[in-house]
Amino acid sequence: MKNYSFKEFCMDILVDAAGGMMIAVGVYNFALHADFPVAGFSGIAIILYHLLGLPVGIGTIFLNIPVAVLCYKFLGRMFFLKSLKSVIITSVLTDYVAPLFPVYEGNRLLAALCMGVLCGAGFALIFMRGSSTGGQDFITLSVKKVYPHFSLGSITFALDIVTIVMGSVLVFREVDGFIYGIIVTYLLANVMDRIMYGIYEGKMTLIVTEHGAEVAAQIDEYSGRGSTILQGRGSYSGRKKDVVMCACNNKQMYAIKKMVHEIDSKAFTIIMESNEVVGEGFKDSV
C-alpha cells in the first residue's frame, strides 16, 4: 500500500463505518423483512437468508470470497485490499449492529424508498474513498476490463436485473415484489449519482460571438467567474469568431444568458449540464 498514510487509513475506517452503517440499516432494518428483492450481492444474501437462514453479513462475506479470488488480477492490489476492508466492516455492522435497531414493519413502498436512499448514500461515501463493497462491483469492473466496449451502466443494470428476477422467482414469487426491487435499484443509483456528482453540478456555456472580451468581462463582473476565450471560424461565412467558455452554477446561468443577449443579440449561446465542476470557485481538485 505505497503512499497510503495512517491518516488516510483512519479516515477510510471512519467513512466505511458511516457508509457501512447506512447500508446495514437499509438492508437489515428496511429491506430484509419487507419482502422485496434487492440487487447486488446484498440481494443474493437476502435470498440465502430466506432460504437457508444464513445471516446477511456472513452470506455477503461468503459470496465475496470466490469472486474476489477470481477477480483479483483485474482489480489491483490497493483497490482489492480497501474493498476487502469495506466488505468486512459493512458485514459486521449488518449482522451485529443493525439488529440493535427496530425493524420497520410498515408500508413496503416506504421501506423501499428508505432502503434506496440509505444504501445509495452509504455506497456513495465508500466509493468516494476509492473503495467498494465488493461483490457485484468486482464482477462489473472485471467484465469491463475484458469487454471495454460495454458501459458500466449496462453491465450493472444486467446484473441487477438477474438478481432481482432470482429473488422474485425463488423467494417472493409476486409481481409487486419485483416492482419494488426495480424502484429500489433506480432510486439507489440516482442517490449515489446525486451525492457523488450532483453536489457540484452546474452549467457550462459556449458563447459564439464577435465580442468575446466584452462578454467575458461582463461575466466576471457579475459572477466573479473566469472565462476562456477560444478562437473559432464560421464554417459558412469564414469569419473569425470568439468562443467564450464559462462554467457557473445553475442560479447564475439565466442572468449570464440575458447579459450576453444585451451585448450581442446575434450571439450563438449553447448551455449544457455539467455533472461536476472542479477548480477555483467550485470543488477543490483532488
The string of pLDDT tens digits covering residues 56-108 is 888 888 888 887 777 777 667 787 888 889 989 998 999 899 999 999 988 88
Residue 25, pLDDT above cutoff 90? yes
Mean pLDDT of the chain: 81
With 60 as the cut, is the pLDDT of residue 286 above it?
Answer: no
CATH 3.30.70.120 placement within the chain: 201-274
Least confident of 32-36, 93-97, 154-158, 238-242: 154-158
Is the pLDDT confidence value at 15 over 90?
Answer: yes
pLDDT for 1 equals: 46
CB contact at 8 A, 31 and 108: no
Q: What is the mean pLDDT of residues 145-173?
A: 73
Q: Give me the half-sphere count of Cα atoms (radius 13 Å) on the Cβ side of residue 131.
A: 27
Q: Cβ contacts of residue 197 below 8 Å, gap of 6+?
A: 275, 276
pLDDT 10s digits, 193-240: 777 766 656 788 899 998 889 999 888 887 777 888 999 988 888 888
pLDDT at residue 21, rounded to an integer: 96
pTM score, whole prediction: 0.70
Grid cell digits, residue 37: 428483492
Which numeric CATH code is attached to 201-274? 3.30.70.120
Question: Taking 80 as the threshold, does the pLDDT of residue 263 lie above it?
Answer: yes
* Confidence grade of residue 4 (pLDDT, cut at 50, 70, 90): low
Angle among Cα 185, 191, 175 to the nearest 5 degrees reads 20
Q: What is the mean pLDDT of residues 136-157?
A: 72
Residue 227: what are its φ and ψ, rounded to 5°?
-130, 160
SS (H, E, C) 111-180: HHHHHHHHHHHHHHHHHCCCCCCCCHHHHHHHHHHHCCCCCHHHHHHHHHHHHHHHHHHHHHCCHHHHHH
pLDDT for 152: 56
